[in-house]
Structure 1
Amino acid sequence: MLSFVIPAHDEAPRLPATIDALHAAARGCGVDYEIVVVDDASRDGTGDVAARHGARVLRVEHRQIAATRNAGARAARGDTLVFVDADTRIPVETLAAALAALRDGAVGGGATVRFDADLPWHQRFVIAIGVRLVWLGRVAAGCFVFCMRPAFDGAGGFDERWYAGEDVAMSRALAKAGRFVLLREPVWTSARKLDTFTPGEHLRLMLRLAFRGRGLLRSREHLALWYERREKE
């Protein structure tokens, strides 16, 4: 079985498109599957929305992304795990490429990330640099990470010391276990962080990371981009 695991905090407006895309992709690939939504302390009916769209719902109160992903993995029944963010859509071609890579012996991987909005040139420029760095670093963006369960268990799951950057740690752990692939096929995700947080806030976070290092990612204190929900006005 293939298990999709979606961590979600106050994601009721976005979950329907994400879950519907997963149903379509899995059926298009002809695989047995389940969708597990890990409702992490939501207050907007996220769990009810997920259930209405055919997902199994697990309620937790972590507010820590690595712990929430791990809770979903423990509840999942599949031997293949696909971690998907609540604002990310997976085309059938991308899921098919991921499954083919696993059949060919890969232990896990990620995909090219594209955004579902027209962005101004300066945002496209920053994203292009970020995407290039991700590819050079051979890490999967957290919005789409797939792996075989034995490799996931062997890595000890997502490292719960990290409040962000857990996708980088998992990518490196999986790469140590075997072949880790980055697909050319894309996933489509929301650009809401670019819309709802100012360029100054992004810059301040990058400067803090530059001066304080990855230790900054071990608490929520400066991680509003991950843990504060804002909506575009």
Structure 2
Amino acid sequence: MPVPGHPAGGLKLPVSPPSRLRPPAVDALSIPPRLSIIIPCLNESVRLPRLLNDLAALRKRGHEIIVVDGGSGDGTLEQAAQGADRTLNSPAGRARQMNAGAAAARGDAFWFLHADTRVPRSVPAGVLACLRAGRPWGRCRVRLSGDTLVLRAIAALMNLRSCLTGIATGDQGIFVTRSAFDGVGGFPEIALMEDVAISRALKSGVGRPACIRPCLVTSSRRWEQRGVWRTVLLMWRLRLAYWLGADPAELARRYR
């Protein structure tokens, strides 16, 4: 006989579903390591604010932006003060400026960016994820700001070259842990090819670079101003000469 207040036979009382608590959202940009983003500049008052705007979300989450000026006369430092944590003066020369930024940095890892670079939103999370995975250094894929077929082909060749050689260039956004950077003595303070030189040292010391698949956008002005094929051939000749032992100061003169 059914007991009052109890279900009879196979009758099932409705059961409230268990509450589903959503885990708190994880902000990938706020998880350590802390980046020090180091930007060497010389007369980049027009382009630098665009890059600083791209990096504003990182800055809000505790990462550090350092702009190192090499003697600009166009108001670059005034522009930098509006979007950077620190602005420094340094003797001109990309290697000197980047080393000065690293010496002043407080982060666990350094990310070196050219002032005419643009940083899409997906790139910083990729850099941080790579560092959290234990990779001591790496670089990003790039695409050029121009939209012609030949510029797209040049960017593809740049990415392929870096994959094959394990050598990164400055426009690919080299990132490196503080310990790995200190371990190779920073950038050699040479007039040109400092990015190739530190890549060779890091590759020998800690292994090949990691590669971030989301692309940085690097300015195509060098190719557009000097001529696409002329610039490609010039860079090939300069790199070959460097590998053969040419003086970087002479290479810099030829580049300019």
Report the TM-score, using the length of structure 1 for normalisation. Answer: 0.84
d(CA) in 1 for partners of 2:229 and 2:146? Answer: 21
Instruction: State the partner residue of 1:124.
Output: 152
Q: Is the 8 A contact 1:89 1:188 kept in 2?
A: yes
Equivalent residue in structure 2 for 1:22, among 33, 46, 55: 55
Deviating beyond 6 angstroms after TM superposition, the runs of 4 or more aligned structure 1 residues are none
1:30-59 Cα shifts (integer Å, max 9, x gaps): 4x2111100111110110110022341101
Unaligned runs of 5+ in 1: 225-233
Report the TM-score, using the length of structure 2 for normalisation. Answer: 0.77
Q: Is the 8 A contact 1:113 1:141 kept in 2?
A: no
d(CA) in 1 for partners of 2:168 and 2:112? Answer: 11
Instruction: State the partner residue of 1:229.
Output: none
Q: Is the 8 A contact 2:98 2:112 kept in 1?
A: yes
Q: Does 1:86 align with 2:115?
A: yes
Instruction: State the partner residue of 2:132.
Output: 103
Q: Alpha-carbon deviation of 1:129?
A: 2.5
What amino acid is the match of 2:141?
T
Q: Is the 8 A contact 2:143 2:156 kept in 1?
A: no
Which structure shows the bigger proportion of residues in strand conformation? 1
Q: 1:208 to 1:57 in 2, by over 3 A?
A: same
Bigger mean CA offset, 108-117 vs 53-62: 53-62
Equivalent residue in structure 1 for 2:166, among 138, 160, 172: 138
Q: Alpha-carbon deviation of 1:178?
A: 2.7
After TM superposition, list the pairs within 5 Å mapping 1:41-60 onto structure 2: 41-60=71-90
Q: 1:204 to 1:93 in 2, by over 3 A?
A: closer
Instruction: State the partner residue of 1:172.
Output: 200
Percent identity (aligned): 37
Give the number of the structure with larger relative contact order, counting CA–CA contacts within 8 Å between residues 6 or more apart: 1
Which structure shows the bigger proportion of residues in helix conformation? 1
After TM superposition, list the pairs within 5 Å mapping 1:193-204 onto structure 2: 193-199=222-228, 201-202=230-231
Q: Does 1:61 align with 2:82?
A: no
Q: 1:42 to 1:112 in 2, by over 3 A?
A: same
d(CA) in 2 for partners of 1:50 and 1:210? Answer: 32
Bigger mean CA offset, 187-196 vs 85-94: 85-94
Unaligned runs of 5+ in 2: 1-33
